[in-house]
Amino acid sequence: MLSPTAVPSTDSIWHSLAASVLAGQEISRSQALSILESSDEEWLDLLGAAYRIRHQYFGKTVQLYFLMNAKSGLCPEDCHYCSQSKISDAPIPKYNILSRDKLMDGARLAAERKSKTYCIVISGRAPNEREMKAVETIVPEIKRTYGLNICACLGLLNEDQAKRLKAAGVDKVNHNLNTSRDHYAEICTTHTFDDRVETLQHVRNAGMQLCSGGIIGMGEKKEDIVEMAFSLKELSVESIPLNFLHAIDGTPFEKQEYLDARDCIRALCMMRFVNPRSELRIAGGRERHLRSLQPFGLFVANSIFVGDYLTTQGQAPEEDYNMIRDLGFEITESCAGPEEPCC
């Protein structure tokens, strides 16, 4: 297996590693760590090498996701990063699952904003029966009306719940690992890393795609970011949202500093090298932490959220459209109509 340190020229080191990935080789944990530890002098070369991998599997396409916070707050979990957790004092809206009309309005807006996937997210440890039935009822109607793919993020799922979501037409389920197994107890104590893995296994067994990623900026070591990337690889996750912690007043992580934008790009590059065929999404916190380097991120990732996040604002959709157009990329939109099968 090719090692970056075996190539003396910093001009070709990352392109040689990219070539080995494109030839079907897997990089090692030490190689992944070396990406995170690369110098600023290597940064553009690393970016170009990661783009070779991105282009091989996704060309110049960008997928847009639209996120609907379908139930806010009221969560019994103690996830330290989350404004909706039981230990958060953040002044956020709190409401039970939205009505059919509001969920359909969200789907309409998702389609208008050129999204291919509509993400229905509810807070809480796990969905109750009322919430499950609401999702089962609304998903077929959304797909008939707007031809959107559906990603459901409902918390911990058991085997039966996963099968019901599949039967309702849900395409993928989001359940983030968030960090490494070793670091998990530092960010949450009310459930475990293994609880999350079990949910993803139920989703896979039910025949749906996996959407799972993590959050950078929660006091983890670089080795934790690498371990998270390899855990996602071992699960063969199809869609990886990489978040950069948006510190929210009232949460235990409220004093988090701004992340180095170049380090954020390095993390995206490492994720691309480790998971070359996975859709990679620049998720929450991109506006805050990547700042003026956001366009560089799309040379590595091939997906973004358009619009707002759960309890924080994103930038205006027009800014995203302009960025994508200026890069010479193209948006992969939803299906043309209800008769056309979702892709």
The residues that are catalytic are 75, 79, 82, 119, 151, 211, 281
Give me 67's structure tokens. Answer: 């996120």
Interhelix angle for 193-205 vs 159-168, to 10°?
A: 40
Contact criterion met (CB below 8 Å) for 231 and 274: no
Q: How far is CA 302 from CA 166, 190, 236, 242, in A?
A: 25, 33, 17, 12
Greatest Cα pair distance in the chain: 61
Collect all residues with Cβ–Cβ distance below 8 Å to 229 and sequence separation of at least 6.
32, 270, 271, 274, 275
Question: Which of 122, 146, 137 has the alpha carbon at shortest distance from 335?
Answer: 146
Interhelix angle for 29-36 vs 222-234, to 10°?
A: 130
The Cα–Cα gap between 94 and 207 comes to: 33
